[in-house]
């Protein structure tokens, strides 16, 4: 954070986008990121909101093929079980004006 403050001009805005859960319709961030997200808000003074940023594919098998290699077999099974051609994704946006 000190490096961000050092290189940015006065009155700049820092914007951070992070996952809040792939394959979930409401935020469910990975456990290893929760301390980081808390620190952004409580230690560094960022504001926060979440939005949906779903992945849309032409069919279920394309959704599975294009996401399973990155997100893993568990998401691939979830896509098939739910017959998703649109895979839900929640994203967090943190911002801070300096």
pLDDT digits (tens, 9 = 90+) for 71-85: 999 999 999 999 999
Count of structural domains within the chain: 1
Minimal CA–CA distance to 67: which of 22, 25, 34, 13?
22
How confident is the model over 27-84, as pLDDT tens digits?
999 999 999 999 999 999 999 999 999 999 999 999 999 999 999 999 999 999 999 9
The pLDDT of residue 39 is 96
5 inside domain: no
The helix/strand/coil state of 11 is coil
- Which neighbouring-strand residues pair with 35? none
Residue 95 · residue 16 · CB < 8 Å:
yes
64 inside domain: yes
Q: Which domain holds residue 72?
A: 13-97
Residue 73 · residue 35 · CB < 8 Å:
no
81 inside domain: yes
Cα–Cα distances in Å, from 9 out to 1, 30, 38?
A: 14, 33, 25
8 inside domain: no
44/37 Cα distance (integer angstroms) = 10
18 inside domain: yes
| Residue bearing the bigger pLDDT, 1 or 49 | 49
The pLDDT of residue 5 is 85
């Amino acid at each position: 954070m000190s490096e961000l403050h050092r290189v940015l001009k006065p009155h700049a805005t820092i914007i951070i986008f992070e996952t809040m859960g792939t394959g979930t319709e409401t935020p469910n961030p990975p456990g290893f990121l929760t301390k980081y997200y808390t620190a952004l808000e409580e230690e560094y003074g960022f504001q926060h909101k979440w939005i949906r940023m779903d992945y849309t594919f032409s069919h279920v098998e394309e959704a599975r093929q294009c996401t399973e290699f990155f997100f893993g077999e568990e998401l691939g099974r979830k896509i098939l079980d739910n017959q998703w051609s649109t895979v839900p994704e929640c994203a967090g946006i943190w911002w801070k004006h300096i």
